[in-house]
């Protein structure tokens, strides 16, 4: 709730107009019964038909004013709710741009998408209800109270006495419904998840004969969901008849008191009719108010999820007085140990090595041995848990993130391309890259030929998810993107895997002159890709299992030998 | 084969049959709605009686008729009736709420279960051309839309119609001329609604399209998170997002504002009608045609029909989407199911693992993919299946597990046609590991134990060790109790494959099928896995589909598939000696390496 109020602050004038226009609505809804009661009191009893016509015209006037008020209400409400939603979305998006990898993993991409999109939408819907209908109830009760208090204090007290009852009711229902609604929402998520799992795992489930088990799992959750929905719907829809009944009792009370007053000749019948009308309209607005209950719990959950994004803070911080970083001469891992936030055992333990400008270091090892994690430490996706990584002798945490990352050309295993032309995607690496630069980089990355074969060449569109280029093409485009930047540290995370052996070889040959003044780090599965690296680091279960050149490792590292043997024949090894 | 949609008639029939178990409650609820609306319609009438009585008395008092006073006894009697009506309405409304909720939520529960069970009985073929997202949205959005529509719209619409009938009857009883003025609201409302909806519809479509764009931008920017931070493009991304977001804001503002015009415009009609009725009514009162109480009641009636009028126009969208949803739900429930079992199935005991394909013919559609496939696997053999993409490698395995049935010929295990076995007992013979790993939301431990749900903890750990995934599990935050979820980003594809292999090992099957199961595992680990697998599968039959030929060199039998047919078979050496397709395939993978 605080979140919503915070965002509404920027629209004070619209909110004010919004409340004002609610009064416009109340004027029509309550003014018309007042006038009608006047017609009965004055016109009927005095049999004054001119007065009747006159009042009828006033009713028409008030109708128009009231309707204009309601239209203004619709305008303000739509403006405020859409603007607030826009502001929330902008802030969420901006916040997420400052996230670190740890935060990204903690939330998960799909959950962040939902938060930016659906959760903000929920808040918009809720704001609409609040601004349009929920405000009506207090205003209507307030207005009818003031309308009656002048003419008859006792009767107005009866109307006023319904307020605490309704407030109490609202409070109680809110209190009981919100935990149920949360449980229901969570249960729905689980239910969907189980069903999705049932769909995606259809073959596995059948092959394990776990059909009955799955049905049982589903039914258990389904039953729980049904129970929560039942309680929730019952609670929500009971509010309306009960609130209505309270109003009904007030009506009876008014009749009772009014009868006595009429008897004592202190009240006119028209006034009584007006009273009953006020009550009736207050009742209708209470009915509308009940929809707030339907919306509130969902909106509260959404607001909390958005708040969680704002409250999350990055562990990867810029130093207060960053050092200048110009040319990179050396990169050192000094006894680096890394444990994932809340991990049980270290993923990397006591890793040390040094690479100088112009050298290549390669990492090889089994699935899960920590290769990708290791190279992810260089651009500070995560910070080391122990030990340090140094560039030019200084800890990388002493440089600014922007500076550090601008020196790195990182090509990940799963290349991600954006919508737009191929050239746009390459320019992502360097905004003002000339056409020559782009073509040159694409030639080095062995992408030039296939780009030329596309109907629009460099202007060919990449569609969403880059489904119109193959995996190998994607890798080559992302290598081009990194090359055009002229970085001083190249990091290739298994980014040659989708290339065939011949292209792989040509690419590495073309890369050599390009990277002679840079540090190159390669993660690979294929021995052939890394054979001629200056240093090869063999990782096994997070520890260094061997370090040296291809020849040295073949002789003294059994794991490296096993890897090599699993891919190349003895003859090929000897040849190398 | 597109999504089947059930006709409206079938939908209603289907829904009614699902509601059958709850019919008593549902019928009581409907009866209660009639009572509620009846009481609601009578309220103003009775309230009017009090007013009339009071007016009469007041006039008498004003005229100083001797002994004139308010007839408290009459007023009391009417108030008692009124109290009764209020109570009747409240109680019947509460009963409606409770019974209807029970009935509807019970029906929705059954419907969801039915959909889940349906999924299990549909042939695998069905899922080939129905995207999961579609099916999933049936259980979530469609059932939800139906539930909401029944929960809210049913009472409202049914109640609204009853209100109309009752209220119009009551109005006509009071005065026909006043009724004519009041009922003019209806045609005007319809015209206004039609006009505004015509405009807002287009604006809503535009809003929907912009929403899609917004969604696309968000998905892209979050998906490319790595690239954005590495290339320092945060500000560009923010700018791009803000731009779409601004357009989104404008589009939804327009749509919202225009559609918000309906209610005030209808209200304007109502207000004017009330004004007109009031003037006319007062004149009638003066003329003595109607009483003041009746006038009061009549005006109340106008307000009463105003409410359902504006809410029904809002609910119509809900009802429409509920019907569309129902069409999809029941359409799916009508889909054809897997062919029933042979009435006298043969259950195999002590399976040796002899697998035979005899003149098998098969195609996913009319056209045959396989014309005459013959395979003879002896117990305990390791069979490798190789061939280019689309050659039908996975299809062979699908046939073996009876995910599809052959169109000609037969597949036999230990000499028994697999169509003569109960599906369950057939499938209990196999462990299947697929390239697309399937892990469900639960602990690592539960996921491995899925292979054999009565396995002990030490057996689970043993299987994990055999699959070389034990160490990795230990590095996770909670070890074996770590919860896996859809967004498990610190588990790589290779690690997921290892977990599914552990699960398959735990099942300890007669026949093991690995369908590109180690494609994301590095070569050395793959080799270790194979060795472990060979120990586990000693004397048992296994099928391995792999595109890395280096990993299947030592298979007992290699089947080379092309265009759905087996073009070569034999051992690695014999196939190389043959200098046929296999030899070419093998060298194409290794020749390049030498040049490197």
| Per-residue pLDDT at B595 | 36
Taking the alpha carbons at both ends of chain A, their separation in whole angstroms is 68
- Name every chain B residue with its beta carbon within 8 A of the beta carbon of A136: none
The residue range of the domain holding A556 is 322-407+535-576
Q: Which of A59-68, A348-357, B129-138, B374-383 has the lowest mean pLDDT?
A: B129-138
The 3-state DSSP composition of chain A as helix, strand, coil percent (nearest 5) reads 70, 10, 20
Place B2 in a pLDDT band, splitting at 50, 70 and 90: very low
Q: Is residue B227 less than 8 Å (CB to CB) from chain A?
A: yes
- Which residues, including other chains, have CB under 8 Å from residue B206's CB and lie 6 or more apart? B251, B254, B255
Nearest to B593 among A213, A365, A528 (CB): A528
Interchain CB distance below 8 Å, B275 and A56: yes
Angle between helices B292-333 and A269-311 (to 10 degrees): 30
**Nearest chain A residue to B504, by CA:** A208
Q: Which of A270-279, A495-504, B196-205, B258-267 has the lowest mean pLDDT?
A: A495-504
Nearest to B307 among A35, A94, A284 (CB): A284
Quote the Cα angle for B460-B449-B419, to 5°.
125
- Which architecture does CATH list for B1-175+317-336? Up-down Bundle (1.20)
Angle between helices A269-311 and A120-129 (to 10 degrees): 160
Q: How many residues does chain A have?
A: 576
- Which residues, including other chains, have CB under 8 Å from residue B469's CB and lie 6 or more apart? A368, B495, B498, B499, B501, B502
Interchain CB distance below 8 Å, A345 and B475: yes
Place B134 in a pLDDT band, splitting at 50, 70 and 90: low
How many whole angstroms separate alpha carbon A498 and alpha carbon A414? 10
| Residue whose C-alpha is closest to residue A496's, from A515, A479, A516, A510 | A479
Same domain, A144 and A228: yes
The single residue listed with the structure tokens 């509460």 is: B94
- Name the B residues in 239-258 with CB < 8 Å from any A CB: 241-242, 245-246, 248-250, 252-253, 256-257
- Name every chain B residue with its beta carbon within 8 A of the beta carbon of A259: 50, 54, 70, 72, 75
Q: In this structure, what token pair is assigned to residue B367?
A: 């056209």
- Mean pLDDT for chain A overall: 80
DSSP B220-284: HHHHTHHHHHHTT-HHHHHHHHHHHHHHHHHHHHHHHHHHTTHHHHHHHHHHHHHHHHHHHHHHH
| Per-residue pLDDT at B596 | 32
| Per-residue pLDDT at B1 | 38
Strand (E) or helix (H) holding A203: helix A202-207
Residue A113 lies in a domain: yes
Same domain, A211 and A347: no
Nearest to B82 among A128, A205, A252 (CB): A252
Interchain CB distance below 8 Å, B263 and A70: yes
Give me the number of domains chain A comprises.
2
- Name every chain A residue with its beta carbon within 8 A of the beta carbon of B232: 402, 405-406
Specify whether the backbone of A557 is left (phi greater than 0), alpha (psi in -120 to 50) or beta.
beta
- Name every chain B residue with its beta carbon within 8 A of the beta carbon of A108: 485-487, 489
Q: In this structure, what token pair is assigned to residue A29?
A: 């809804």
Same domain, A206 and A333: no
Max mean pLDDT range (A122-126, A272-276, B138-142, B205-209): A122-126
How many whole angstroms separate alpha carbon B383 and alpha carbon B544? 6
**Among B25, B116, B144, which would you mutate to test the A interface (most chain A Cβ atoms within 10 Å of its Cβ)?**
B116
What are the backbone angles phi and psi of residue B358, rounded to the nearest 5°? Answer: -115, 115
Mean pLDDT of the region B152-169: 82
Interchain CB distance below 8 Å, A108 and B116: no
Q: How far is B193 from chain A (nearest CA, A)?
A: 15
DSSP B391-448: SSHHHHHHHHTTSS--SEEEEEETTEEGGGS-HHHHHTTEEEEESS----SEEHHHHH
How many whole angstroms separate alpha carbon A71 and alpha carbon B267? 11
- Answer yes or no: is pLDDT of A200 > 70: yes
Same domain, A200 and A305: yes
What are the boundaries of each domain within chain B?
1-175+317-336, 179-289, 355-595
How many whole angstroms separate alpha carbon B434 and alpha carbon B209? 38
> A160 or A220: whose pLDDT is higher?
A220
- Name every chain B residue with its beta carbon within 8 A of the beta carbon of A273: 51, 292, 296
Interchain CB distance below 8 Å, B522 and A525: yes
Cβ-in-10-Å burial (0-12, 13-18, 19+) of B357 comes to buried
Interchain CB distance below 8 Å, B427 and A272: no
How many whole angstroms separate alpha carbon B413 and alpha carbon B356? 6
Same domain, A360 and A251: no
| Per-residue pLDDT at B106 | 92
Nearest to A96 among B106, B222, B440 (CB): B222
- Answer yes or no: is pLDDT of B212 > 90: no
Q: Which of A87-96, A258-267, B96-105, B124-133 has the lowest mean pLDDT?
A: B124-133
How many whole angstroms separate alpha carbon A76 and alpha carbon A58? 27
| Per-residue pLDDT at B351 | 79
Q: In this structure, what token pair is assigned to residue B565?
A: 């047919």
- Mean pLDDT for chain B overall: 81
Cβ-contact B246, B273 below 8 angstroms: no
Same domain, A296 and A385: no
Nearest to B214 among A117, A276, A541 (CB): A117
Q: How far is A395 from chain B (nearest CA, A)?
A: 19
DSSP annotation of A399 reads: B
Q: How far is A97 from chain B (nearest CA, A)?
A: 6
| Per-residue pLDDT at A465 | 64
- Answer yes or no: is pLDDT of A222 > 50: yes
Q: Which of B255-259, B284-288, B536-540 has the lowest mean pLDDT?
A: B536-540
The single residue listed with the structure tokens 């590292």 is: A557
| Per-residue pLDDT at B591 | 42
- Which architecture does CATH list for B355-595? 3-Layer(aba) Sandwich (3.40)
How many whole angstroms separate alpha carbon B91 and alpha carbon B85? 10
Domain B1-175+317-336 and domain B355-595 have a common topology: no
Quote the Cα angle for B164-B102-B8, to 5°.
60
Q: What is the pLDDT of residues B485-498, one digit of tens each?
A: 655 555 777 778 78
Nearest to B476 among A273, A344, A575 (CB): A344
- Which residues, including other chains, have CB under 8 Å from residue B192's CB and lie 6 or more apart? B262, B265, B266, B269
- Which residues, including other chains, have CB under 8 Å from residue B533's CB and lie 6 or more apart? B501, B505, B512, B514, B542
How many whole angstroms separate alpha carbon A386 and alpha carbon A336? 6
- Answer yes or no: is pLDDT of B454 > 90: no
- Name every chain A residue with its beta carbon within 8 A of the beta carbon of B401: 203, 206-207
Checking A546-554 for CB contacts under 8 A at 24+ apart, the result is A547/A353, A550/A576
CATH number of the domain at A564, please: 3.40.50.300
Interchain CB distance below 8 Å, A262 and B61: yes
How many whole angstroms separate alpha carbon B528 and alpha carbon B524? 6
| Per-residue pLDDT at A339 | 82
- Answer yes or no: is pLDDT of B113 > 80: yes
- Answer yes or no: is pLDDT of B88 > 90: yes
| Per-residue pLDDT at B593 | 42
Across the beta sheet with A348-356, the strand order is: A348-356, A330-338, A386-391, A394-395
Q: What is the pLDDT of residues A249-292, one digit of tens each?
A: 888 888 888 888 888 877 777 777 777 777 777 777 776 776 67
Assign 3-class secondary structure to B503-557.
HHHHHCCCEEEEECCCCCCCHHHHHHHHHHHHHHCCCCEEEEECCCHHHHCCCCE
Helix (H, G, I), strand (E, B) or coil at A426: helix
- Name the B residues in 347-406 with CB < 8 Å from any A CB: 401, 403
- Name every chain A residue with its beta carbon within 8 A of the beta carbon of B467: none
What are the backbone angles phi and psi of residue A110, rounded to the nearest 5°? Answer: -70, -30
- Name every chain B residue with its beta carbon within 8 A of the beta carbon of A405: 229-232
Same domain, A260 and A373: no
- Name every chain B residue with its beta carbon within 8 A of the beta carbon of A402: 232
Q: In this structure, what token pair is assigned to residue A233?
A: 């719907």
Cβ-contact A328, A391 below 8 angstroms: yes
- Answer yes or no: is pLDDT of B590 > 60: no
CATH number of the domain at A287, please: 1.20.1560.10
Interchain CB distance below 8 Å, B593 and A572: yes
Residue A159 lies in a domain: yes
DSSP annotation of A396 reads: G
Same domain, A232 and A102: yes
Instruction: Print burial letters for B139-155: b (CB count within 10 Å at least 16), e (below 16).
Output: bbebbebbbbbbbbbbb
Strand (E) or helix (H) holding A123: helix A120-129
Same domain, A227 and A358: no
Q: What is the pLDDT of residues A133-173, one digit of tens each?
A: 778 777 877 777 777 777 677 777 877 787 788 778 878 88
Same domain, A148 and A265: yes
A416-B437-B586-B567 Cα dihedral, nearest 10 degrees: -120
What are the backbone angles phi and psi of residue B411, rounded to the nearest 5°? Answer: -115, 130
Same domain, A290 and A359: no
Same domain, A182 and A114: yes
**Among A85, A173, A233, A245, which would you mutate to test the B interface (most chain B Cβ atoms within 10 Å of its Cβ)?**
A233
Residue A458 lies in a domain: no
- Name every chain B residue with its beta carbon within 8 A of the beta carbon of A196: 132, 136
Residue A244 lies in a domain: yes
Cβ-contact A322, A396 below 8 angstroms: no
Interchain CB distance below 8 Å, A197 and B263: no
- Name the B residues in 92-151 with CB < 8 Å from any A CB: 93-94, 97-98, 101-102, 104-106, 108-109, 112-113, 115-117, 119-120, 124, 127, 132, 135-136, 139-140, 147, 151
| Residue whose C-alpha is closest to residue B259's, from B206, B210, B208, B201 | B201
DSSP A308-377: HHHH---S----SSPBP--S--EEEEEEEEE--TT-SS-SEEEEEEEEETT-EEEEEE-TTSSHHHHHHT
């Amino acid at each position: 709730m605080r979140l919503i109020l915070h965002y509404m602050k920027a629209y004070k004038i619209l909110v004010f107009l919004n409340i004002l226009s609610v009064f416009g609505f109340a004027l029509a809804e309550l003014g018309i019964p007042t006038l009608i009661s006047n017609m009965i009191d004055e016109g009927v009893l005095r049999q004054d038909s001119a007065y009747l016509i006159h009042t009828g015209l006033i009713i028409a006037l008030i109708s128009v004013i009231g309707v204009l008020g309601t239209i203004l209400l619709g305008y303000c409400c739509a403006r405020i709710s859409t603007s607030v939603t826009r502001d929330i979305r902008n802030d969420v998006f901006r916040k997420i741009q400052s996230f670190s990898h740890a935060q990204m993993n903690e939330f998960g991409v799909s959950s962040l998408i939902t938060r930016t999109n659906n959760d903000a939408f929920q808040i918009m819907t809720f704001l609409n209800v609040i601004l349009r209908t929920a405000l009506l109830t207090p205003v209507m009760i307030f207005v009818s109270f003031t309308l009656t208090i002048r003419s008859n204090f006792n009767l107005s007290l009866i109307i006023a006495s319904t307020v605490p009852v309704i407030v109490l009711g609202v409070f109680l229902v809110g209190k009981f419904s919100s935990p149920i609604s949360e449980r229901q929402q969570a249960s729905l998520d689980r239910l969907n998840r189980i069903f999705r799992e049932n769909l995606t795992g259809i073959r596995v489930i059948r092959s394990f004969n776990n059909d009955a088990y799955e049905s049982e799992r589903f039914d258990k959750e389904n039953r729980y969901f049904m129970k929560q929905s039942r309680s929730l719907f019952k609670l929500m829809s009971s509010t309306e008849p009960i609130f209505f009944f309270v109003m009904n009792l007030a009506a009876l009370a008014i009749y009772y008191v009014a009868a006595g007053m009429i008897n004592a000749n202190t009240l006119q019948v028209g006034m009584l009719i007006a009273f009953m009308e006020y009550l009736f309209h207050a009742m209708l607005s209470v009915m509308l108010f009940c929809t707030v209950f339907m919306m509130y719990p969902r909106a509260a959950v959404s607001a909390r999820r958005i708040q969680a994004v704002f409250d999350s803070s990055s562990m990867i911080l810029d130093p207060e007085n960053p050092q200048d970083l110009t040319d990179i001469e050396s990169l050192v891992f000094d006894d680096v140990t890394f444990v994932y936030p809340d991990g049980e055992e270290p993923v990397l333990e006591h890793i040390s090595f040094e690479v100088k400008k112009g050298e290549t270091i390669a990492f090889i090892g089994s699935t899960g041995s920590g290769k990708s994690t290791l190279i992810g430490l260089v651009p500070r996706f995560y910070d080391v848990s122990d030990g340090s990584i140094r560039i030019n002798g200084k800890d990388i945490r002493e440089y600014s993130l922007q500076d550090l990352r601008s020196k790195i050309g990182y090509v990940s295993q799963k290349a991600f391309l954006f919508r737009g032309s191929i050239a746009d995607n390459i320019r992502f690496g360097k905004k003002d890259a000339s056409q020559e630069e782009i073509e040159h980089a694409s030639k080095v990355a062995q992408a030039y030929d296939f780009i030329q074969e596309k109907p629009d060449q460099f202007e060919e569109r990449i569609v969403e998810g880059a489904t119109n280029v193959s995996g190998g093409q994607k890798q080559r485009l992302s290598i081009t993107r990194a090359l055009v930047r002229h970085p001083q540290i190249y990091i290739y995370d298994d980014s040659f895997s989708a290339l065939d052996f011949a292209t792989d070889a040509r690419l590495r040959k073309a890369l050599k002159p390009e990277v002679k003044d840079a540090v190159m780090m390669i993660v690979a599965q294929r021995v052939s890709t890394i054979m001629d690296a200056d240093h090869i680091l063999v990782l096994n279960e997070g520890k260094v299992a061997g370090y040296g050149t291809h020849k040295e490792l073949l002789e003294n590292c059994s794991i490296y030998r096993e890897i090599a043997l699993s891919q190349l024949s003895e003859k090929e090894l000897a040849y190398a | 084969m597109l999504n089947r949609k059930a006709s409206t008639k079938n939908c209603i029939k289907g829904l009614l049959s699902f509601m059958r178990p709850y019919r008593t409650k549902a019928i009581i609820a409907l009866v209660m709605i009639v009572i509620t609306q009846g009481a609601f319609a009578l309220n103003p009438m009775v309230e009017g009686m009090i007013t009339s009585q009071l007016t009469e008395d007041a006039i008498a008092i004003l005229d100083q008729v001797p002994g004139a006073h308010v007839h408290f006894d009459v007023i009391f009697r009417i108030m008692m009736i009124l109290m009764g009506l209020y109570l009747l309405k409240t109680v019947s409304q509460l009963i409606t709420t409770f019974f209807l909720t029970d009935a509807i939520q019970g029906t929705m529960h059954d419907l969801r279960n039915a959909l889940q069970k349906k999924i299990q009985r549909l042939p695998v073929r069905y899922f080939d051309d129905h995207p999961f997202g579609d099916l999933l949205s049936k259980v979530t959005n469609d059932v939800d839309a139906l539930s909401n529509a029944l929960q809210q719209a049913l009472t409202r619409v049914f109640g609204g119609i009853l209100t109309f009938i009752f209220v119009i009857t009551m109005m006509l009883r009071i005065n026909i001329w006043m009724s004519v003025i009041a009922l003019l609201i209806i045609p005007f409302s319809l015209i206004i609604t039609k006009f505004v909806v015509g405009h807002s519809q287009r604006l809503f479509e535009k809003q929907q399209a912009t929403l899609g764009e917004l969604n696309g931008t968000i998905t892209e920017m979050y998906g490319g998170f790595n690239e954005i931070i590495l290339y320092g493009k945060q500000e560009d991304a923010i700018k791009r997002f803000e731009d779409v977001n601004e357009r989104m804001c404008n589009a939804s503002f327009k749509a919202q504002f225009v559609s918000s015009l309906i209610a005030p415009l209808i209200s304007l009609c109502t207000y004017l009608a009330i004004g007109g009725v009031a003037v006319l009514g007062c004149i009638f009162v003066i003329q003595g045609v109607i009483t003041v109480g009746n006038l009061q009641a009549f005006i109340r009636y106008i307000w009463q029909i105003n409410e359902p009028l504006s809410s029904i126009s809002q609910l119509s969208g809900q009802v429409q989407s509920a019907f569309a949803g129902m069409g999809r739900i029941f359409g799916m429930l009508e889909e054809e199911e897997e062919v029933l079992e042979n009435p006298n199935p043969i259950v195999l005991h002590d399976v040796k693992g002899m697998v035979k394909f005899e003149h098998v013919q098969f195609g996913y559609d009319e056209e045959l993919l396989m014309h005459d496939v013959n395979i003879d696997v002896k117990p305990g053999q390791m069979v490798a299946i190789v061939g280019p993409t689309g050659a039908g490698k996975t299809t062979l395995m699908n046939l073996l597990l009876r995910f599809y049935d052959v169109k000609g010929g037969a597949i036999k295990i230990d000499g028994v046609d697999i169509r003569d076995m109960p599906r369950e007992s057939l499938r209990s013979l196999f462990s299947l590991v697929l390239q697309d790993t399937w892990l469900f939301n639960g602990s690592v431990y539960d996921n491995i134990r899925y292979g054999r749900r009565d396995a002990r903890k030490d057996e689970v750990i043993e299987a994990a060790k055999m699959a070389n995934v034990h160490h990795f599990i230990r590095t996770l935050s909670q070890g074996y109790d770590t919860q896996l979820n859809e967004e498990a980003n610190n588990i790589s594809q290779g690690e997921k494959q290892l977990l599914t292999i552990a699960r398959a090992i735990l099942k300890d099957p007669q026949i093991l099928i690995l369908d590109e199961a180690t494609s994301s595992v590095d070569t050395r680990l793959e080799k270790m896995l194979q060795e472990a697998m060979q120990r586990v599968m000693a004397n048992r039959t296994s099928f391995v589909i792999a595109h890395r030929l280096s990993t299947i060199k030592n298979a007992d039998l290699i089947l080379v598939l092309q265009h759905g047919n087996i073009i070569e078979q034999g051992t690695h050496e014999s196939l190389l000696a043959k200098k046929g397709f296999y030899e070419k395939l093998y060298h194409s993978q290794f020749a390049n390496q030498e040049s490197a």
